[in-house]
Structure 1
Amino acid sequence: MHYAELLKAREELTGPGGDFEIIEAEVLGNRIRTYKNAPPSVREFWLSTAEFADRPYLVYGDERLTYAQSHEQVNAVAAWLADQGVTAGDRVAIAMRNYPEWMLIYWACACSGIAVVGMNAWWTAEEMAYALTDSAPKVLFLDAERLDRLRERPETADKMKIVGVRIPDASADVTPWAEVIAHGGTMPDITVDPDSDCCIFYTSGTTGHPKGAQLTHRGCIANLFNMVYAATSASLATQRATGVAPPEDPPIPVTLITTPLFHVTANNCGAYAVTAGGGTLVLMYRWDAGEALRLIAREGVTAMSGVPVMARELINHPDFATSDTSSLTSLAGGGAQVPPDLVKKIESQVATARPGTGYGMTETCGIITSVSGDFFVDKPDSAGPAMPNFEAKCVDDMGETVPAGQTGELWVRGSSVIKGYINRPEATADSITDGWLHTGDVARIDEDGFIFIVDRKKDMVLRGGENIYCAEVESTLYTHPAIAECCVFGVPDDRLGEEVGAAIVLNSGHSLTEEELRDHCAAVMAKHKVPRYIWFLDDALPRNASGKFIKRELRDRLSSELQSA
């Protein structure tokens, strides 16, 4: 493989005079790595895209907005906000589906130094009320579904102005979106502090209320540079190793956005990267594999990225073989580990697309690592090397660095790490030590600098003193052709502490017994890792708004069934 070429390409690109030159800077009290050539804030980035004027930017159903039209509306939103007295340092919340208006509001706020509060569209009225009280936005943009939930707790919005998006018959206390756009005007002429909050995205957390992570302008721009750098370095290394040059005139990117814009996967990784290339964002009302196939064919989609199960559903869909997917050059997964079998399926079953993944967190404004193409095929269980603005290390429970190749909790430090959590100084102190973010993921780093995420530190099954990594068991289960979806978790056990449990959904037309599945696992893994408890479910596994399986809900429900049996 081309690892020597990759190392050389990385050194050239990030060294003195390189397009992605890395320097050290004092940021928020810590000495960290950052990009020398990065624009200071998201404002400069968005304003630079005006040059794409007549190119299509946002597509939703039959609706289309060019870059010029988008800039005009972004300016109008920014001017309207200024007239409402919303200024730099204030907050504005967005609570809606992935409508085009989401991106327009986001850019308007970012260019005005206003922090966007991304509201989870799946939240209940109580959860919405918590986040609105916690973040205290001056304006709330929402759609009809979120307005109905807000009405359940009307006192929450007493101190904020409400703007209704795609609500034709809103009440008098709701300002119509059309009125905001009709306002017109120009973008306020301000300077945005690179280390001010660009957006606040809430992390789900394992206990209690979600935490509002403060993503800075510096961090969001650094993540964009990471995205572009990852593709550039891999392409350069592959070209040098194979002698095959990339196309001189590559297609303008067209990306299908499959996950919610209130998360970094869709917003910071998907939307930013496409916008930087003057490409098109194709938005969906909700995820549906059949609709995704139709949109790929209709819009000439070049890339689709979502949680791994979405790529699996796309490939497994009955219409896949007869759908035109020839425009696809990348089929990627993020937000969860991509099982190695899925890497192979993408490589073998999607003729024009290469597999890819990025590992990251809300707390790093996007990706920490990235891997694609030949490198991903060669190391399908890897998340790729850390991006150049990060230092990365694996530590033991005492915070001491473990020897190379050994597993430990992954800690990272760099310009993409969040400032902290709003109103949660203790949580910030628990998660960030001297600029080092504790990811909560167990990992190892190999001789090529590639990071392998073994599992979530808190999701390991501890059976009789043995650590069993759920991701490893899931990867083995997915190699069985009958399995469409699976989720592995710990089941309480009086004798061993925990036993391995697995919830399984089978592909249509397939059958499987518990004994057959255990035999399949036992052939490739140690006996103590083979699931003791197996549930075959008729319905799809429960997911959250990002498309990730809700492991806790499954574990609690199925474990309680055992106890009551």
Structure 2
Amino acid sequence: MTLAAWNEAADQLTAPGALFAWSIQEVNGVPVRVFDNAPSSLRDLFAGTAAHGDADYLVFRDERVSYAEAHRQVRALASWLATHGGVNQGDRVAISMRNYPEWIIAYWATISMGAVVVGMNAWWTPAEMAYGLDDSAPNALLIDGERWERLAAIDNHPEIPVVVTRRSEDLPEDVIRWADTVADPDPPALPDVAIDPDDDLCVFYTSGTTGFPKGAVMTHRAAVHNVMNMGFYSSTLGMINEREPIPQGEKDQPAGLVCVPLFHVTGCNCYLHPTTTVGGKLVLMYRWDATEALKLIDAERPSTLAAVPAMSREIVLHPDFDRYDTTSLGSLGGGGSPLHPDLVDKISRSIPSGNPGTGYGLTETSGVVTMNVGAIYRDKPTTVGPPLPTVEAKVVDDDGAELPSGQPGELLVRSPIVIRGYLNKPEATAEAIVDGWLHTGDVAVIDEDGFIAIVDRAKDLVIRGGENIACAEVENAIYQHDAVAEAIVFAVPDERLGEVPGAAVVLRSGGDLDADGLRAHLDGRLAPYKIPAHIWFLTTPLPRNASGKYLKREVRDELLSP
């Protein structure tokens, strides 16, 4: 009955003339499903939020920024970037910082002037930062104090304007301070630029199986369609009325607790964008802490959490869970990694007003491909949901032939949410996107109802708490130690984080190395989350197949067997 009600509501919302009606249009030579009522750019969506005036927009510790103040700062920063930073439409502006309010102001200022955000991973080491700056060639860099210290460790970093925030001491006189860029009490209007739907919006870096991060180039059309796809899903849930609505006063506003980085699509595209669009309040955390999250849920009354499943698990299993009021939560789950079926039941029992939920997406899809929340998810807890309205999905065999429902194969996606390509990597782009179809690298099954289940991963990646780790990158760093003869890196299941990296290492004859020594070697070469949590030293060569490739799965299964 629930599935029938869902299909009926979806048909109504996408019918000709309805808010989420779509038609086939050609985008960059590819026929895709495009919403008929989609705004031209993300700038247009942000501009409309000025009407929320004095309502809270950003909350960080004891700081509160209203929509009116955020718009003032956005105009001031955009004016500074254009006048003093030399940033023009189409130029890139890199942001490297924690989830501070400044990250969000910098984001909206950049995209509203027609420039392109480069979201740098705040975990990156100086060497990784240097790679990102060299690859993206930004015209300006907006950075916090922690990242500024790492930047200072880079030899010959780009001679571009660097704006530093959250740092008052030890700064040279010539460093540009954030406060000076947003000080204008009455800044001019945003630049009058015409932004095409297919103009570049943002570059987010994703770990590739070659070991080098790839800059995924997203467009305004992709981001807008992700917001509308998510809006469609929320509207459909509302129509089928799965649960009694949470009582809210007339003046209550939507709110979300952001527990994941803004430099990923989960935090940015799937929470910052939609929450801002509806005039919601974004509550930011300095770092993840389950106790602090419960305090913020109690105090700020968010209805959603931008979280990975490990965070949701820590919340519902927290020993002090019952001391806090969590009744504001309308859903709880996570993206970035699979939600284990047992957690679906734990969420349902722990938060009566909260629907368990999950979704599936990639950096390369600028957001979500599917969503699955509430009663339907409880009915199909092993799936990530059906494709959203402007998403086509199919599974194919090794020869590219489409497979019938129920048979596993690689999942392919075609949609306006697919990235334009990888920055400076035409060969990688051509390999990943063929005739408009994105090869996800994930092995999936599509059932008779059109719901997708992810059953395996074709890419050589570890997904640690939502962070993609390229096994090849970690292996390359391990091989830099002279004592190492052979090494492979693979995913090890972890109850809290979903997966963590593990390594099997064979030493050279006479090599002297232990786990602590290897981790010390990797410290500084890799961001801390990439360093293997489990290390095995083997005394025999690693097994290989006929073509000489290591049999990773065989080694992993043997090492992890009870």
Q: Please tell me the TM-score bracket, short chain as reference.
A: 0.7 to 0.9
TM-score by length of 1: 0.82
Structure 2 CA distance for partners of 1:280 and 1:333, relative to 1, 3 Å: same
CA gap of 1:192–1:404, structure 2 versus 1, over 3 A, is: same
2:232 to 223, 229, 233: 229
Letter in 2 for 1:167: R
Mapped pair 1:256 → 2:257: yes
Which residue is equivalent to 2:532? 553
Runs of 5+ in structure 2 lacking a partner? Answer: 465-470, 472-487, 498-521, 542-558
Task: Using the TM superposition, give the Cα deviation of residue 71 of structure 1 relative to its aligned residue in structure 2, in angstroms.
Answer: 0.4
Secondary structure of 1:297 counterpart = helix
State the Cα distance separating 1:225 from its structure 2 match. Answer: 0.4
Q: Quick one: structure 1 residues 506 and 291, their matched pair in 2 at CA, closer, same or farther if it must change by over 3 Å?
A: closer
Aligned to 1:189: 192
Q: Name the CA distance, whole Å, in 2 between partners of 1:549 and 1:330.
A: 28
**Which blocks of at least 5 consecutive residues in structure 1 are unaligned?**
461-469, 475-488, 490-497, 508-541
Ranges of 4+ aligned residues in structure 1 off by more than 4 Å: 244-251, 500-507, 547-550, 561-565
Distance (whole Å) between structure 1 residues aligned to residue 27 and residue 494 of structure 2: 47
Change (3 A) 1:328 1:548: farther
**Partners of 2:299 and 2:223 in 1: CA distance:** 31
Distance in 1, matches of 2:124 and 2:245, equals 47
Amino acid of the residue matched to residue 177 of structure 2?
A: P
Take 1:343 and 1:136, find their aligned partners in 2: how far apart are those partners? 43
Q: Which residue of 2 aligns with 1:528?
A: none
Contact 1:60 1:283 (C-alpha < 8 Å) held by counterparts:
yes
CA offsets 1:96-153 (integer angstroms, 9 cap, x no match) = 0000010111011111111000000000000000000000000000011111111111
2:479 corresponds to: none
Shift of 1:248: 8.8
Instruction: Spell out the pairing of 1:302-341 with structure 2 (5 A cutoff).
Output: 302-341=303-342
Report Cα offsets for 1:26-50 as digits up to 9, x if no partner.
1112111111101000111000001
| 1:532 paired residue number | none
Q: Structure 2 matches for 1:229-308, cutoff 5 A?
A: 229-238=232-241, 251-308=252-309
Shift of 1:62: 0.2
User: What is the CA RMSD across the aligned residues, in angstroms?
Assistant: 2.8
The question of whether the paired residues in 2 share the 8 Å contact of 1:5 and 1:238 is answered with: no
Change (3 A) 1:563 1:64: farther
Question: Which whole-Å CA distance do the structure 2 matches of 1:560 and 1:340 have between them?
Answer: 34
Structure 1 equivalent of residue 504 of structure 2 = none
| Mapped partners of 2:55, 2:539: distance in 1 | 57
Q: Is the 8 A contact 2:214 2:422 kept in 1?
A: yes
Deviation at 1:281, TM superposition (A): 0.2
SS in 1 for 2:81: helix
Which TM-score applies when normalising by structure 2? 0.82
Q: Any idea what SS the aligned residue of 2:182 has?
A: helix
Q: CA distance change for structure 1 residues 549 and 143 in 2, over 3 Å: closer, same or farther?
A: closer
CA displacement 1:49-73 (0-9 Å, x = unmatched): 0111111000000000000000000
Q: Deviations for 1:371-429, whole angstroms, at most 9, x for unmatched residues?
A: 10101111111100101101100011111101112111100001100000010000000
Report the AA paired with residue 323 of structure 1.
Y
Name the counterpart of 1:60.
60
Percent sequence identity over aligned pairs: 48
Q: Distance in 2 between matches of 1:559 and 1:412?
A: 37
Query: What amino acid does structure 2 have at the position aligned with 1:28?
Result: N
Q: Deviations over 1:257-276 (max 9, x none)?
A: 00000000001001111111
**Structure 1: which amino acid aligns with 2:68?**
A
Per the alignment, residue 14 of structure 2 pairs with 14
Distance 1:223 1:237 in 2: 22
Deviation at 1:278, TM superposition (A): 0.7
User: SS of the residue aligned with 2:378?
Assistant: helix
Q: How many residue pairs are counted as aligned between the two chains?
A: 488
Contact 2:310–2:495 (CA under 8 A) maintained in structure 1: no
Displacement, 1:559? 3.6
The answer to whether the 8 A contact 2:58-2:284 is kept is yes
Amino acid at match of 1:67: Y
* 2:285 partner letter: M
Deviation at 1:305, TM superposition (A): 2.8
The residue type paired with residue 295 of structure 2 is: R
Whole-Å Cα distance in 1 between the matches of residues 225 and 496 of structure 2? 41
